[in-house]
Structure 1
Amino acid sequence: MGESVSRDRASDLASQLAVDVNAELLELALTHRSFAYENGGAGHNERLEFLGDSILGQAVTVMLYRENPTLDEGELAKRRASLVSSVALAEVARAIGLGRYIRLGRGEELTGGRDKSSILADTVEAVIGATYLSAGPEEATALVMRLIAPLMLDPDRFGVSMDPKTSLQELSARLGRGIPRYTVTNSGPDHSKRFLAAVALGDEAPIATGEGTSKKYAEMAAARDAWATLSSL
Protein backbone atom coordinates (compact mmCIF):
# COMPACT_ATOMS: atom_id res chain seq x y z
CA MET A 1 0.00 0.00 0.00
CA GLY A 2 1.43 3.37 -1.01
CA GLU A 3 1.96 6.13 1.53
CA SER A 4 -0.63 8.47 -0.02
CA VAL A 5 -3.24 5.70 -0.10
CA SER A 6 -2.66 4.77 3.55
CA ARG A 7 -2.82 8.44 4.60
CA ASP A 8 -6.08 8.84 2.69
CA ARG A 9 -7.53 5.83 4.45
CA ALA A 10 -6.45 7.19 7.82
CA SER A 11 -8.12 10.49 6.95
CA ASP A 12 -11.33 8.68 5.99
CA LEU A 13 -11.32 6.86 9.33
CA ALA A 14 -10.75 10.08 11.26
CA SER A 15 -13.76 11.62 9.50
CA GLN A 16 -15.88 8.57 10.26
CA LEU A 17 -14.94 8.69 13.94
CA ALA A 18 -15.40 12.47 14.09
CA VAL A 19 -11.99 13.07 15.64
CA ASP A 20 -9.18 15.45 14.71
CA VAL A 21 -6.13 13.19 14.77
CA ASN A 22 -2.70 13.84 13.32
CA ALA A 23 -2.60 11.84 10.08
CA GLU A 24 0.88 10.41 10.68
CA LEU A 25 -0.03 9.32 14.20
CA LEU A 26 -3.28 7.73 13.08
CA GLU A 27 -1.46 5.90 10.29
CA LEU A 28 0.91 4.53 12.93
CA ALA A 29 -2.08 3.42 15.03
CA LEU A 30 -3.33 1.43 12.03
CA THR A 31 0.02 -0.27 11.38
CA HIS A 32 0.28 -3.84 12.67
CA ARG A 33 3.71 -5.18 13.60
CA SER A 34 3.53 -7.70 10.73
CA PHE A 35 3.51 -4.81 8.24
CA ALA A 36 6.39 -3.12 10.04
CA TYR A 37 8.54 -6.26 10.02
CA GLU A 38 7.96 -6.79 6.31
CA ASN A 39 8.79 -3.17 5.48
CA GLY A 40 12.22 -2.57 6.95
CA GLY A 41 11.27 -2.28 10.59
CA ALA A 42 8.90 0.66 10.18
CA GLY A 43 7.01 1.86 13.23
CA HIS A 44 3.96 -0.08 14.43
CA ASN A 45 1.08 0.48 16.82
CA GLU A 46 2.00 -1.47 19.97
CA ARG A 47 3.12 1.56 22.02
CA LEU A 48 -0.07 3.41 21.08
CA GLU A 49 -2.05 0.29 21.99
CA PHE A 50 -0.40 0.30 25.44
CA LEU A 51 -1.43 3.93 25.93
CA GLY A 52 -4.93 3.45 24.58
CA ASP A 53 -5.56 0.48 26.87
CA SER A 54 -5.04 2.69 29.93
CA ILE A 55 -7.20 5.51 28.56
CA LEU A 56 -9.98 3.09 27.66
CA GLY A 57 -9.93 1.52 31.11
CA GLN A 58 -10.01 4.85 32.90
CA ALA A 59 -12.81 6.29 30.75
CA VAL A 60 -15.00 3.21 31.18
CA THR A 61 -14.29 3.04 34.91
CA VAL A 62 -15.29 6.67 35.49
CA MET A 63 -18.42 6.28 33.35
CA LEU A 64 -19.56 3.16 35.20
CA TYR A 65 -18.86 4.75 38.59
CA ARG A 66 -20.89 7.84 37.81
CA GLU A 67 -23.81 6.12 36.09
CA ASN A 68 -24.27 3.27 38.57
CA PRO A 69 -24.27 4.76 42.09
CA THR A 70 -25.92 1.69 43.63
CA LEU A 71 -23.53 -0.97 42.27
CA ASP A 72 -20.76 -2.31 44.49
CA GLU A 73 -17.11 -2.67 43.50
CA GLY A 74 -17.50 -6.26 42.35
CA GLU A 75 -20.38 -5.51 39.98
CA LEU A 76 -18.61 -2.45 38.59
CA ALA A 77 -15.48 -4.53 37.94
CA LYS A 78 -17.50 -7.17 36.09
CA ARG A 79 -19.13 -4.56 33.88
CA ARG A 80 -15.81 -2.93 33.12
CA ALA A 81 -14.28 -6.29 32.17
CA SER A 82 -17.20 -6.90 29.81
CA LEU A 83 -16.76 -3.55 28.05
CA VAL A 84 -12.97 -3.50 27.68
CA SER A 85 -12.40 -7.15 26.73
CA SER A 86 -10.84 -8.11 23.42
CA VAL A 87 -14.14 -9.67 22.41
CA ALA A 88 -16.02 -6.41 23.03
CA LEU A 89 -13.41 -4.24 21.30
CA ALA A 90 -13.37 -6.53 18.28
CA GLU A 91 -17.15 -6.13 18.14
CA VAL A 92 -16.67 -2.35 18.16
CA ALA A 93 -14.06 -2.60 15.41
CA ARG A 94 -16.30 -4.70 13.16
CA ALA A 95 -19.19 -2.29 13.64
CA ILE A 96 -17.13 0.61 12.29
CA GLY A 97 -15.39 -1.42 9.57
CA LEU A 98 -11.97 -0.86 11.11
CA GLY A 99 -10.43 -3.94 9.49
CA ARG A 100 -10.25 -2.39 6.04
CA TYR A 101 -8.04 0.44 7.32
CA ILE A 102 -5.38 -1.69 9.05
CA ARG A 103 -1.94 -2.05 7.46
CA LEU A 104 -1.01 -5.74 7.62
CA GLY A 105 1.90 -7.85 6.51
CA ARG A 106 1.33 -10.32 3.70
CA GLY A 107 1.21 -13.30 6.05
CA GLU A 108 -1.52 -11.80 8.22
CA GLU A 109 -3.39 -10.64 5.14
CA LEU A 110 -3.48 -14.16 3.75
CA THR A 111 -4.66 -15.69 7.04
CA GLY A 112 -7.62 -13.39 7.62
CA GLY A 113 -5.89 -10.87 9.84
CA ARG A 114 -8.39 -8.14 9.05
CA ASP A 115 -11.03 -10.02 11.00
CA LYS A 116 -8.90 -11.44 13.82
CA SER A 117 -10.36 -10.32 17.13
CA SER A 118 -6.95 -9.73 18.71
CA ILE A 119 -5.73 -7.48 15.87
CA LEU A 120 -9.00 -5.56 15.73
CA ALA A 121 -9.11 -5.02 19.50
CA ASP A 122 -5.48 -3.89 19.64
CA THR A 123 -6.06 -1.43 16.80
CA VAL A 124 -9.06 0.11 18.56
CA GLU A 125 -6.85 0.76 21.59
CA ALA A 126 -4.10 2.22 19.37
CA VAL A 127 -6.58 4.61 17.72
CA ILE A 128 -7.70 5.75 21.17
CA GLY A 129 -4.06 6.34 22.10
CA ALA A 130 -3.45 8.35 18.93
CA THR A 131 -6.52 10.45 19.64
CA TYR A 132 -5.28 11.20 23.16
CA LEU A 133 -1.89 12.38 21.88
CA SER A 134 -3.40 14.44 19.06
CA ALA A 135 -6.54 15.94 20.57
CA GLY A 136 -6.15 15.53 24.32
CA PRO A 137 -7.86 13.58 27.09
CA GLU A 138 -11.36 15.02 26.65
CA GLU A 139 -11.56 14.09 22.97
CA ALA A 140 -10.11 10.64 23.67
CA THR A 141 -12.67 10.04 26.41
CA ALA A 142 -15.48 11.24 24.15
CA LEU A 143 -14.30 8.81 21.45
CA VAL A 144 -14.33 5.94 23.94
CA MET A 145 -17.87 6.79 24.97
CA ARG A 146 -19.04 6.87 21.34
CA LEU A 147 -17.39 3.56 20.58
CA ILE A 148 -18.83 1.66 23.55
CA ALA A 149 -22.30 3.23 23.40
CA PRO A 150 -23.68 0.41 21.19
CA LEU A 151 -22.35 -2.16 23.67
CA MET A 152 -24.21 -0.46 26.50
CA LEU A 153 -27.48 -0.80 24.56
CA ASP A 154 -27.11 -4.58 24.26
CA PRO A 155 -29.54 -6.09 26.81
CA ASP A 156 -27.39 -9.22 27.11
CA ARG A 157 -24.11 -7.38 27.59
CA PHE A 158 -24.12 -7.69 31.35
CA GLY A 159 -25.54 -11.20 31.48
CA VAL A 160 -23.21 -13.99 30.41
CA SER A 161 -20.54 -11.46 29.51
CA MET A 162 -20.19 -10.32 33.11
CA ASP A 163 -19.16 -13.74 34.42
CA PRO A 164 -18.40 -15.91 31.40
CA LYS A 165 -16.30 -18.48 33.26
CA THR A 166 -19.13 -19.33 35.65
CA SER A 167 -21.67 -19.30 32.83
CA LEU A 168 -19.51 -21.68 30.78
CA GLN A 169 -19.02 -24.02 33.72
CA GLU A 170 -22.77 -24.15 34.38
CA LEU A 171 -23.62 -24.76 30.71
CA SER A 172 -20.93 -27.40 30.32
CA ALA A 173 -22.22 -29.22 33.39
CA ARG A 174 -25.78 -29.21 32.06
CA LEU A 175 -24.56 -30.70 28.79
CA GLY A 176 -22.39 -33.28 30.52
CA ARG A 177 -19.21 -31.95 28.91
CA GLY A 178 -17.09 -31.73 32.07
CA ILE A 179 -15.28 -28.93 33.89
CA PRO A 180 -13.61 -26.22 31.77
CA ARG A 181 -9.80 -26.32 31.82
CA TYR A 182 -7.72 -23.25 30.90
CA THR A 183 -4.19 -23.14 29.51
CA VAL A 184 -2.56 -19.71 29.34
CA THR A 185 0.59 -18.54 27.57
CA ASN A 186 2.01 -15.03 27.21
CA SER A 187 4.22 -13.09 24.85
CA GLY A 188 5.70 -9.64 24.48
CA PRO A 189 7.82 -7.37 26.71
CA ASP A 190 7.07 -7.02 30.41
CA HIS A 191 5.46 -3.60 29.98
CA SER A 192 3.08 -4.82 27.26
CA LYS A 193 2.45 -8.54 27.65
CA ARG A 194 -0.34 -10.27 25.76
CA PHE A 195 -1.97 -13.38 27.16
CA LEU A 196 -3.54 -16.20 25.14
CA ALA A 197 -5.91 -18.61 26.86
CA ALA A 198 -7.29 -21.86 25.47
CA VAL A 199 -10.24 -23.58 27.13
CA ALA A 200 -11.09 -27.28 26.92
CA LEU A 201 -14.04 -29.15 28.41
CA GLY A 202 -13.14 -32.24 30.40
CA ASP A 203 -10.63 -34.30 28.44
CA GLU A 204 -11.61 -32.83 25.07
CA ALA A 205 -9.42 -30.70 22.82
CA PRO A 206 -9.69 -26.91 23.29
CA ILE A 207 -12.87 -25.48 21.80
CA ALA A 208 -12.06 -21.77 22.05
CA THR A 209 -9.27 -19.28 22.63
CA GLY A 210 -9.16 -15.72 23.90
CA GLU A 211 -6.62 -12.92 24.22
CA GLY A 212 -6.22 -10.13 26.74
CA THR A 213 -3.86 -7.85 28.62
CA SER A 214 -3.96 -10.16 31.64
CA LYS A 215 -4.42 -13.87 32.34
CA LYS A 216 -7.87 -13.09 33.77
CA TYR A 217 -9.08 -11.19 30.70
CA ALA A 218 -7.72 -13.83 28.32
CA GLU A 219 -9.56 -16.59 30.19
CA MET A 220 -12.76 -14.54 30.19
CA ALA A 221 -12.50 -13.99 26.44
CA ALA A 222 -11.95 -17.72 25.86
CA ALA A 223 -14.90 -18.58 28.11
CA ARG A 224 -17.21 -16.20 26.19
CA ASP A 225 -16.33 -17.79 22.86
CA ALA A 226 -16.68 -21.30 24.29
CA TRP A 227 -20.07 -20.44 25.79
CA ALA A 228 -21.24 -19.06 22.44
CA THR A 229 -20.03 -22.22 20.67
CA LEU A 230 -21.80 -24.54 23.11
CA SER A 231 -24.98 -22.47 23.02
CA SER A 232 -25.18 -22.77 19.25
CA LEU A 233 -24.96 -26.59 19.20
Structure 2
Amino acid sequence: MKRSAEIADLEGRIGVRFDRPELLREALTHPSMSSPTRSDNQRLEFLGDRVLGLVMAEALLERDPKAAEGALAPRYNALVRKETCADVAREFGIGDALKLGRSERLSGGRRKMALLGDAMEAVIAAIYIDQGFEAAKTCILRLWGERIASVEEDARDAKTALQEWAQARGLPPPAYVETARSGPDHQPVFTIEARLETGQSASATAGSKRQAEQGAAQSLLAEVEAKA
Protein backbone atom coordinates (compact mmCIF):
# COMPACT_ATOMS: atom_id res chain seq x y z
CA MET A 1 0.00 0.00 0.00
CA LYS A 2 1.24 3.49 -0.87
CA ARG A 3 1.88 5.55 2.25
CA SER A 4 -0.36 8.63 2.30
CA ALA A 5 0.76 11.93 3.79
CA GLU A 6 -1.86 11.52 6.51
CA ILE A 7 -0.52 8.09 7.51
CA ALA A 8 3.07 9.36 7.44
CA ASP A 9 2.11 12.30 9.64
CA LEU A 10 0.47 10.06 12.23
CA GLU A 11 3.43 7.68 12.17
CA GLY A 12 5.62 10.65 13.04
CA ARG A 13 3.40 11.64 15.97
CA ILE A 14 3.31 8.17 17.53
CA GLY A 15 6.93 7.40 16.67
CA VAL A 16 6.37 4.24 14.63
CA ARG A 17 6.99 3.69 10.93
CA PHE A 18 4.97 0.73 9.68
CA ASP A 19 6.30 -1.92 7.35
CA ARG A 20 2.65 -2.46 6.37
CA PRO A 21 0.95 0.96 6.53
CA GLU A 22 -2.33 -0.66 5.52
CA LEU A 23 -2.56 -1.97 9.08
CA LEU A 24 -2.57 1.57 10.42
CA ARG A 25 -5.23 2.54 7.90
CA GLU A 26 -7.37 -0.37 9.09
CA ALA A 27 -6.87 0.69 12.71
CA LEU A 28 -8.22 4.13 11.84
CA THR A 29 -11.27 2.88 9.93
CA HIS A 30 -14.53 3.08 11.87
CA PRO A 31 -17.24 0.50 11.04
CA SER A 32 -19.25 3.29 9.39
CA MET A 33 -16.60 3.31 6.63
CA SER A 34 -16.13 -0.44 6.22
CA SER A 35 -16.82 -2.16 2.89
CA PRO A 36 -16.03 -5.49 1.19
CA THR A 37 -12.64 -4.02 0.27
CA ARG A 38 -12.02 -2.00 3.45
CA SER A 39 -11.88 -3.67 6.87
CA ASP A 40 -12.88 -1.72 9.98
CA ASN A 41 -10.95 -1.56 13.24
CA GLN A 42 -13.13 -3.73 15.48
CA ARG A 43 -10.99 -6.86 15.34
CA LEU A 44 -7.83 -4.84 15.91
CA GLU A 45 -9.47 -3.06 18.84
CA PHE A 46 -10.21 -6.43 20.44
CA LEU A 47 -6.55 -7.46 20.15
CA GLY A 48 -5.13 -4.08 21.14
CA ASP A 49 -7.09 -4.08 24.37
CA ARG A 50 -5.31 -7.30 25.38
CA VAL A 51 -1.86 -6.07 24.35
CA LEU A 52 -2.37 -2.85 26.30
CA GLY A 53 -3.52 -4.81 29.34
CA LEU A 54 -0.44 -7.03 29.35
CA VAL A 55 1.93 -4.07 28.99
CA MET A 56 0.28 -2.15 31.82
CA ALA A 57 0.12 -5.15 34.14
CA GLU A 58 3.82 -5.79 33.59
CA ALA A 59 4.72 -2.11 34.02
CA LEU A 60 2.84 -1.84 37.32
CA LEU A 61 4.45 -4.99 38.70
CA GLU A 62 7.88 -3.68 37.81
CA ARG A 63 7.24 -0.26 39.35
CA ASP A 64 6.02 -1.65 42.66
CA PRO A 65 7.29 -5.21 43.29
CA LYS A 66 5.74 -5.35 46.76
CA ALA A 67 2.25 -4.11 45.92
CA ALA A 68 -0.66 -6.45 46.59
CA GLU A 69 -3.20 -7.31 43.91
CA GLY A 70 -5.77 -5.15 45.67
CA ALA A 71 -3.53 -2.12 45.21
CA LEU A 72 -2.49 -2.94 41.66
CA ALA A 73 -5.96 -3.59 40.25
CA PRO A 74 -7.33 -0.03 40.59
CA ARG A 75 -4.16 1.46 39.11
CA TYR A 76 -4.40 -0.97 36.21
CA ASN A 77 -8.06 -0.12 35.61
CA ALA A 78 -7.26 3.60 35.60
CA LEU A 79 -4.59 3.13 32.93
CA VAL A 80 -6.47 0.84 30.52
CA ARG A 81 -10.00 2.23 30.72
CA LYS A 82 -11.54 3.68 27.58
CA GLU A 83 -11.35 7.26 28.85
CA THR A 84 -7.59 7.02 29.28
CA CYS A 85 -7.16 5.49 25.82
CA ALA A 86 -9.24 8.34 24.39
CA ASP A 87 -7.14 10.93 26.22
CA VAL A 88 -3.96 9.48 24.71
CA ALA A 89 -5.60 9.41 21.27
CA ARG A 90 -6.51 13.11 21.58
CA GLU A 91 -3.00 14.01 22.71
CA PHE A 92 -1.48 12.47 19.59
CA GLY A 93 -4.12 13.62 17.11
CA ILE A 94 -5.53 10.21 16.25
CA GLY A 95 -9.04 11.64 15.92
CA ASP A 96 -7.92 13.82 13.00
CA ALA A 97 -6.90 10.71 11.06
CA LEU A 98 -10.03 8.61 11.68
CA LYS A 99 -11.90 7.31 8.65
CA LEU A 100 -15.57 7.95 9.43
CA GLY A 101 -18.83 7.66 7.56
CA ARG A 102 -20.76 10.85 6.88
CA SER A 103 -23.18 10.42 9.77
CA GLU A 104 -20.36 9.89 12.26
CA ARG A 105 -18.45 12.90 10.94
CA LEU A 106 -21.51 15.11 11.24
CA SER A 107 -22.23 13.86 14.78
CA GLY A 108 -18.77 14.81 16.03
CA GLY A 109 -17.27 11.33 15.83
CA ARG A 110 -13.70 12.61 15.91
CA ARG A 111 -14.32 13.85 19.45
CA LYS A 112 -16.27 10.87 20.81
CA MET A 113 -14.61 9.08 23.69
CA ALA A 114 -15.66 5.59 22.58
CA LEU A 115 -14.45 6.04 19.01
CA LEU A 116 -11.13 7.52 20.09
CA GLY A 117 -10.56 4.81 22.70
CA ASP A 118 -11.33 2.04 20.23
CA ALA A 119 -9.03 3.58 17.63
CA MET A 120 -6.18 3.88 20.13
CA GLU A 121 -6.48 0.20 21.01
CA ALA A 122 -6.64 -0.70 17.32
CA VAL A 123 -3.47 1.27 16.62
CA ILE A 124 -1.72 -0.68 19.39
CA ALA A 125 -2.78 -3.94 17.76
CA ALA A 126 -1.57 -2.73 14.37
CA ILE A 127 1.87 -2.02 15.83
CA TYR A 128 1.89 -5.42 17.53
CA ILE A 129 1.05 -7.26 14.29
CA ASP A 130 3.43 -5.18 12.19
CA GLN A 131 6.47 -5.11 14.48
CA GLY A 132 5.93 -7.42 17.43
CA PHE A 133 5.30 -7.17 21.13
CA GLU A 134 8.45 -5.31 22.14
CA ALA A 135 7.79 -2.54 19.64
CA ALA A 136 4.18 -2.27 20.81
CA LYS A 137 5.32 -2.18 24.43
CA THR A 138 7.88 0.54 23.76
CA CYS A 139 5.28 2.65 21.98
CA ILE A 140 2.64 2.20 24.69
CA LEU A 141 5.03 3.15 27.47
CA ARG A 142 6.08 6.24 25.52
CA LEU A 143 2.53 7.34 24.68
CA TRP A 144 1.18 6.75 28.18
CA GLY A 145 4.27 8.46 29.63
CA GLU A 146 3.75 10.10 32.99
CA ARG A 147 0.31 8.57 33.35
CA ILE A 148 1.99 5.37 34.53
CA ALA A 149 4.22 7.14 37.03
CA SER A 150 1.48 9.35 38.39
CA VAL A 151 -1.43 6.91 38.58
CA GLU A 152 -2.82 7.25 42.08
CA GLU A 153 -2.35 4.39 44.49
CA ASP A 154 -6.04 4.46 45.23
CA ALA A 155 -7.29 4.71 41.66
CA ARG A 156 -10.64 3.05 42.20
CA ASP A 157 -13.29 4.76 40.18
CA ALA A 158 -15.64 6.82 42.30
CA LYS A 159 -18.72 4.69 41.57
CA THR A 160 -16.97 1.58 42.87
CA ALA A 161 -15.71 3.41 45.95
CA LEU A 162 -19.18 4.78 46.73
CA GLN A 163 -20.79 1.36 46.27
CA GLU A 164 -18.23 -0.19 48.63
CA TRP A 165 -18.92 2.57 51.17
CA ALA A 166 -22.67 1.83 51.00
CA GLN A 167 -22.24 -1.95 51.21
CA ALA A 168 -20.00 -1.62 54.25
CA ARG A 169 -22.91 0.08 56.02
CA GLY A 170 -25.57 -2.38 54.92
CA LEU A 171 -27.05 -0.03 52.33
CA PRO A 172 -28.13 -0.97 48.80
CA PRO A 173 -26.02 0.29 45.89
CA PRO A 174 -26.40 3.97 44.97
CA ALA A 175 -28.90 4.92 42.29
CA TYR A 176 -27.95 7.16 39.36
CA VAL A 177 -30.70 9.29 37.85
CA GLU A 178 -30.47 11.51 34.78
CA THR A 179 -32.02 14.79 35.87
CA ALA A 180 -31.23 16.93 32.82
CA ARG A 181 -29.88 16.80 29.31
CA SER A 182 -28.89 19.73 27.14
CA GLY A 183 -26.86 20.58 24.06
CA PRO A 184 -27.19 19.35 20.46
CA ASP A 185 -27.75 15.68 19.67
CA HIS A 186 -24.18 15.22 18.45
CA GLN A 187 -22.68 16.74 21.59
CA PRO A 188 -25.09 16.24 24.52
CA VAL A 189 -24.42 17.29 28.09
CA PHE A 190 -25.83 15.16 30.91
CA THR A 191 -26.63 15.97 34.52
CA ILE A 192 -26.71 12.90 36.75
CA GLU A 193 -27.70 12.68 40.41
CA ALA A 194 -26.22 9.96 42.63
CA ARG A 195 -28.59 8.98 45.45
CA LEU A 196 -28.19 6.87 48.57
CA GLU A 197 -31.07 5.21 50.42
CA THR A 198 -30.28 7.56 53.33
CA GLY A 199 -31.51 10.48 51.21
CA GLN A 200 -28.07 11.92 50.62
CA SER A 201 -27.38 12.91 47.02
CA ALA A 202 -25.04 14.87 44.76
CA SER A 203 -25.08 15.87 41.09
CA ALA A 204 -22.55 16.39 38.33
CA THR A 205 -22.68 17.49 34.70
CA ALA A 206 -20.46 16.15 31.89
CA GLY A 207 -20.34 15.32 28.20
CA SER A 208 -21.09 11.62 28.76
CA LYS A 209 -23.33 9.76 31.18
CA ARG A 210 -20.37 7.78 32.51
CA GLN A 211 -18.38 10.90 33.30
CA ALA A 212 -21.39 12.55 34.92
CA GLU A 213 -22.06 9.46 37.03
CA GLN A 214 -18.42 9.36 38.13
CA GLY A 215 -18.51 13.05 39.01
CA ALA A 216 -21.72 12.67 41.00
CA ALA A 217 -20.33 9.64 42.83
CA GLN A 218 -17.11 11.51 43.64
CA SER A 219 -19.03 14.47 45.05
CA LEU A 220 -21.33 12.27 47.12
CA LEU A 221 -18.44 10.16 48.37
CA ALA A 222 -16.58 13.27 49.50
CA GLU A 223 -19.71 14.46 51.29
CA VAL A 224 -20.42 11.25 53.19
CA GLU A 225 -16.77 10.72 54.11
CA ALA A 226 -16.53 14.26 55.44
CA LYS A 227 -19.43 13.55 57.78
CA ALA A 228 -18.05 10.18 58.93
The two structures have a TM-score, normalised by structure 1, of 0.71
Q: 2:23 aligns with which of 17, 22, 25?
A: 25
Within the candidate set 202, 214, 226, 1:224 is matched to 214
Q: Is 1:9 the counterpart of 2:3 in the alignment? A: no
Q: Displacement, 1:202? A: 3.2
User: 1:81-160 alignment to 2 at 5 Å?
Assistant: 81-154=77-150, 157-158=151-152
Q: d(CA) in 2 for partners of 1:31 and 1:226?
A: 34
Matched to 1:19, the amino acid is: V
Cα displacement (A) at 1:182:
5.9
| Pairing 1:163–2:161 present | no
**Backbone CA RMSD of aligned residues:** 3.5
Provide the rounded CA distance (Å) in 1 between the counterparts of 2:81 and 2:212: 11
In the superposition, relative to structure 1, how do residues 128 and 170 fare at CA in structure 2: closer, same or farther (>3 Å)? Answer: same
Q: Is 1:202 matched with 2:190?
A: no
- Between the two proteins, the alignment pairs up a number of residues equal to 194
Counterpart contact for 1:17–1:143, Cα < 8 Å = yes
Distance in 1 of aligned mates of 2:218 and 2:7:
33
Residue 228 of structure 1, CA deviation: 7.2
**What do the CA deviations read for 1:61-84 (whole angstroms, capped 9, x no partner)?**
001011111210011111000000
Counterpart residue identity of residue 27, structure 1: R
Give the percent of matched residue pairs that are identical in Structure 1 and Structure 2.
Answer: 36
Residues 228 and 104 of structure 1, relative CA distance in 2, 3 Å threshold:
farther
Q: Distance in 2 between matches of 1:168 and 1:116?
A: 27
Q: Which amino acid aligns with 2:63?
A: E
Question: Is residue 93–residue 120 contact of structure 1 (8 Å, CA) maintained in 2?
Answer: yes
Q: 2:75·2:154 contact (CA, 8 Å) conserved in 1?
A: no
Unpaired segments ≥5 residues, structure 2: 166-171, 178-190, 222-228
Indicate conservation of the 8 Å contact 2:29/2:99, yes or no. Answer: yes
* Counterpart contact for 1:179–1:201, Cα < 8 Å: no
Query: 2-side partners of 1:111 and 1:160: how far apart?
Result: 36
Q: Tell me the secondary structure at the aligned position of residue 201 of structure 1.
A: strand
C-alpha displacement of 1:46: 0.5
Q: Secondary structure at the match of 1:162?
A: coil
